[in-house]
Amino acid sequence: MRCALSLLLLIVLSGVSVRADEGMWTLDNLPLQRLQERYGFAPSAAWLEKVRLASVRFNDGGSGAFVSPDGLVITNHHVALGQLQKMSDEKKDFVREGFFARRPAEERPCPDLELNVLVSTEDVTARILAVISSTAAEAVQNVQRKAEMSRVEKESFDRTGLRSDVVELYHGGQYQLYRYKKYTDIRLVMAAEVQAAFYGGDFDNFVFPRHDLDMAFFRAYEGGKPVRSPAYLRWSARGAADGELVFVSGHPGSTDRLKTVRQLEFIRDTVLPERLRGMVRRRGVLRQYSASGAEPARRARNKLFGLENSFKALSGALLGLQDAKLMAAKRADEDALRAAAAARPELAPAARMRPGPAPTQELPEAHGPAASAWDRIAAMQDKAAARYPDLIFRGTGDSKLAEFAHAIVRWVAEVEKPNDVRYPEFRETALDSLRFRTFSPAPVYPDLEERMLALDLAESLDELGAAHPYVIAALGGLTPEGKARELIAGTGLADPKERRRLVEGGAAAVAASTDPLIVWARGLDPLYRELRKWREDELESVDALEGGRIARARFAVAGKSAYPDATFTLRLSYGKVAGYEEGTTRVPYKTTFHGLYDRAASFAGKPPFDLSPLEAARKGCVDLDTPLDFVTTNDIIGGNSGSPVINREGEYVGLVFDGNIPSLVGRYAYSDERNRAVAVHSAGILEALSKVYRMRRLVKELRGAR
Read out DSSP for 338-373? HHHHHHSGGGTTT--PPPSSSPP-PPPP-S-TTS-H
The span of 229-237, 244-252, 623-631, 637-645 binding its own copies (CB under 8 A) equals: 623-631
Closest CA to 615 of 636, 631, 599: 599
In whole angstroms, how close is the CB of 604 to its own copies at the nearest point? 6
In angstroms, the CA 633 to CA 21 distance is 7
Residue placing its CB nearer to its own copies in the complex, 110 or 240: 240
Among 609, 652, 670, 693, binds its own copies (CB under 8 A): 609
Is 209 a binding residue for its own copies by CB under 8 A? The answer is yes
Read out DSSP for 40-96? S----HHHHHHHHHHEEEETTTEEEEE-STT-EEEE-HHHHHHHHHHH--SS--HHH
In whole angstroms, how close is the CB of 592 to its own copies at the nearest point? 5
Among 390, 435, 603, 674, binds its own copies (CB under 8 A): 603
Helix (H, G, I), strand (E, B) or coil at 165: strand
Interactions with its own copies, residue window 525-584 (CB under 8 A): 579, 583-584
In angstroms, the CA 179 to CA 65 distance is 17
In whole angstroms, how close is the CB of 429 to its own copies at the nearest point? 42
Show Cβ contacts of residue 46 under 8 Å, excluding neighbours closer than 6 positions: none
Among 125, 591, 647, 690, binds its own copies (CB under 8 A): 591
* SS3 labels along 531-582: HHHHHHHHHHHHHHHHHHHHHHHHHHHHCCCCCCCCCCCCEEEEEEECCEEE
Among 203, 344, 369, 495, binds its own copies (CB under 8 A): 203
Residue placing its CB nearer to its own copies in the complex, 89 or 581: 581
Among 114, 138, 185, 204, binds its own copies (CB under 8 A): 204
Identify the helix (H) or strand (E) that includes residue 246: strand 245-250
In angstroms, the CA 173 to CA 557 distance is 14
The span of 182-190, 204-212, 353-361, 568-576 binding its own copies (CB under 8 A) equals: 204-212
Residue placing its CB nearer to its own copies in the complex, 206 or 393: 206
Is 89 a binding residue for its own copies by CB under 8 A? The answer is no
Closest CA to 548 of 388, 266, 358, 384: 358
Q: Which residues pair with 419 in a beta bridge?
A: none
**Structure letter (DSSP) for residue 233:** P
In whole angstroms, how close is the CB of 590 to its own copies at the nearest point? 5
Left, alpha or beta for 521 (phi > 0: left; psi -120 to 50: alpha)? Answer: alpha
In whole angstroms, how close is the CB of 600 to its own copies at the nearest point? 9
Q: CB atoms < 10 A from the CB of 529, how many?
A: 13
Closest CA to 631 of 249, 252, 317, 240: 240
Number of residues that bind its own copies (CB under 8 A): 33
Among 423, 436, 470, 597, binds its own copies (CB under 8 A): 597
In whole angstroms, how close is the CB of 622 to its own copies at the nearest point? 11
Is 592 a binding residue for its own copies by CB under 8 A? The answer is yes
Among 28, 49, 242, 504, binds its own copies (CB under 8 A): 242
Is 200 a binding residue for its own copies by CB under 8 A? The answer is yes
Interactions with its own copies, residue window 662-691 (CB under 8 A): none
In whole angstroms, how close is the CB of 254 to its own copies at the nearest point? 22
The span of 132-140, 201-209, 639-647, 665-673 binding its own copies (CB under 8 A) equals: 201-209
In whole angstroms, how close is the CB of 623 to its own copies at the nearest point? 11
Among 91, 103, 585, 607, binds its own copies (CB under 8 A): 585
Is 508 a binding residue for its own copies by CB under 8 A? The answer is no
Q: Which residues pair with 282 in a beta bridge?
A: none
In angstroms, the CA 328 to CA 324 distance is 6
Residue placing its CB nearer to its own copies in the complex, 322 or 361: 322
Is 625 a binding residue for its own copies by CB under 8 A? The answer is yes
Query: What is the Cα gyration radius of the chain?
Result: 25
Is 306 a binding residue for its own copies by CB under 8 A? The answer is no
Is 514 a binding residue for its own copies by CB under 8 A? The answer is no
Among 232, 235, 589, 652, binds its own copies (CB under 8 A): 589
In angstroms, the CA 82 to CA 64 distance is 15
Is 602 a binding residue for its own copies by CB under 8 A? The answer is yes
In angstroms, the CA 96 to CA 94 distance is 5
Contact pattern for its own copies over residues 158 through 187, marking x by CB under 8 A: ------------------------------
Pairing of strands 216-222, 72-75: antiparallel
In whole angstroms, how close is the CB of 334 to its own copies at the nearest point? 31
**Structure letter (DSSP) for residue 476:** T
In angstroms, the CA 572 to CA 246 distance is 10
In whole angstroms, how close is the CB of 4 to its own copies at the nearest point? 35
- Which residues of the shown chain bind its own copies in the complex (CB under 8 A)? 200, 203-207, 209, 242, 312, 579, 583-586, 588-592, 594-595, 597-599, 601-604, 609, 624-625, 627, 661
